[in-house]
Amino acid sequence: MKEIVLKLNKAFENRIRLGIMSVLMVNETLDFNSLKELLGATDGNLSSHLSALEKEGLISISKQFVNRKPNTTCAVTAKGRQAFREHLDLLEKLIKSKNK
């Protein structure tokens, strides 16, 4: 069991980051305000977590203007999709090992 815990991805330990990845795994893209509302996060808190995930290459962030207003859109990268699936697989193994 210990070896499973040690393999868990530290990038997903925080509730906000776990939420970001979960929401983005089922949505091709999502804008900043939608993420903020879904996760109940503040602008600064969400921004710092998005930056951390982007720095790890787990998500991509694109900024553009829509009707002259800034719009930030986020998406999971292929690396992020794989890393999150591996993280979920490890959690499942951990739960199953606990029930044995």
- The pLDDT of residue 100 is 55
- The pLDDT of residue 73 is 97
State how many domains the chain has. Answer: 1
CA pair distance 86, 92, nearest whole angstrom: 10
Compute the Cα dihedral for 99, 96, 5, 91 and give only its sign: negative
Supply the CATH number for residue 94's domain.
1.10.10.10
CA pair distance 99, 49, nearest whole angstrom: 33
> pLDDT tens digits for 41-84?
999 999 999 999 999 999 999 999 988 888 999 999 999 999 99
> pLDDT tens digits for 34-50?
999 999 999 999 999 99
* Structural domain containing residue 87: 2-98
CB count within 10 Å of CB 61 equals 14
- The pLDDT of residue 70 is 87
pLDDT at residue 91 greater than cutoff 60: yes
